[in-house]
Amino acid sequence: MLKVAQVAKRLNCSVSTVYGLIETGRLAHHRCPGVRVSEEQLEVYLADTKRQPSPEPARSARSGPQLRLKNVKL
């Protein structure tokens, strides 16, 4: 079981941020003598906040950079 300060150190954030996550219900915890977060609860939080890679934009038939000319009409 991790103390709030240990969780903050792992998440590279402040203790008050961890308490905020706990208050809003985003980070599960236990109330024994003090507030404790288990390794599993921390792993679930990290999995829930993991960002998915954005898909690559579709490329046109022409490859290479496209030039944009303001004053040229085609």
Q: Is residue 11 situated within a structural domain?
A: yes
Q: Average of pLDDT values for 35-54?
A: 92
Number of domains the chain contains? 1
Q: Is residue 60 situated within a structural domain?
A: no
Q: Is residue 13 situated within a structural domain?
A: yes
Tell me the pLDDT band of 73, cut-offs 50, 70 and 90: low
Q: Is residue 12 situated within a structural domain?
A: yes
Q: Is residue 31 situated within a structural domain?
A: yes
pLDDT of residue 67: 65
Q: Average of pLDDT values for 42-50?
A: 94
Helix (H, G, I), strand (E, B) or coil at 21: helix
Q: In the 3-class helix/strand/coil scheme, how is 24-71 assigned residue by residue?
A: CCCCCCEEECEEEECHHHHHHHHHHCCCCCCCCCCCCCCCCCCCCCCC
Q: Is residue 9 situated within a structural domain?
A: yes
pLDDT of residue 71: 73
Q: Is residue 55 situated within a structural domain?
A: no
d(CA 46, CA 23): 17
Residue 56 corresponds to which tokens in the numbers above?
């690559």
Q: Which residues constitute the domain of residue 27?
A: 2-48
